[in-house]
């Protein structure tokens, strides 16, 4: 499958893999398509697959006091979508992952991944490096939340993932930025638009 090659290419940007590891990995991958609004990980479901976004757009969110959906993350092409606490602990996930557009992903099950970790030291290493990579991103985002106001965070999102503005409703972006829809609307109108 073509998409699977894309995923392996993505992985090898972290570290190159042996032919054997790549073959074993390929054998464990499954392509799956989600319709707009369909859930990859439902609220309170156990997340036992890792999904690599090939085409489309997803969001991760949770319910605040059982009422308001708070967006914590957007995933676009070449992002990895997983509710890590649930995946690691195999407990129900407090966050849901949902397709915002029709979305094609490549998945590997937890069971298969852990088998590959056992069989291939190099795949375990890849797992470590990817976890470290995501930890770095996560730390950088914390720094952003601690030091930038809403307008600056919006500015940064526009620079870093401008496609999101075209593909995601503003209400979700406001939620992600931690501000009300009204405030986002005002930030946008102040900067002579775009």
Partner DNA sequence: TTGATTTTTTGACAAATGTCAAGGAACAGT
Partner DNA sequence: ACTGTTCCTTGACATTTGTCAAAAAATCAA
Q: Which residues contribute to the site for DNA (CB under 7 A)?
A: 149-151, 169-171, 178-186, 188-189
Site string for its own copies, 62-101 (x = CB under 8 A): x-x-----x-x-----------xx--x-------------
Stretch 13-52 residues interacting with its own copies (CB under 8 A): none
Contacts of 128 (CB under 8 A, 6+ apart): none
- Min dist. Cβ of residue 113 to its own copies (A): 11
Q: For its own copies, give the closer residue by CB, 101 or 141.
A: 141
Strands 103-109 and 49-55: antiparallel
Using the rule CB under 8 A, give the single segment among 15-23, 25-33, 136-144, 165-173 that binds its own copies. Answer: 136-144
- Min dist. Cβ of residue 181 to DNA (A): 5
- Min dist. Cβ of residue 35 to its own copies (A): 27
């Amino acid at each position: 499958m073509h998409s699977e090659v894309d995923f392996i290419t993505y992985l090898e940007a972290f570290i190159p893999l042996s032919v054997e590891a790549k073959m074993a990995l390929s054998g464990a991958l499954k392509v799956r398509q989600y319709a707009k609004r369909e859930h990859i990980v439902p609220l309170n479901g156990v997340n036992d697959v890792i999904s690599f976004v090939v085409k489309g757009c997803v969001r991760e969110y949770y319910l605040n006091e059982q009422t308001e959906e708070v967006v914590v993350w957007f995933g676009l092409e070449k992002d990895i979508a997983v509710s890590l606490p649930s995946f690691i602990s195999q407990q129900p996930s407090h966050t849901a992952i949902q397709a915002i557009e029709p979305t094609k992903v490549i998945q590997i099950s937890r069971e298969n991944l852990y088998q590959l970790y056992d069989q291939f030291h190099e795949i375990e290493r890849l797992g470590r490096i990817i976890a470290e990579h995501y930890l770095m991103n996560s730390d950088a985002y914390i720094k952003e939340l601690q030091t930038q106001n809403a307008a600056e965070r919006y500015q940064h999102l526009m620079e870093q993932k401008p496609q999101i503005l075209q593909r995601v409703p503003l209400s979700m972006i406001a939620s992600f930025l931690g501000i009300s829809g009204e405030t986002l609307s005002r930030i946008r109108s102040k900067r002579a638009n775009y």
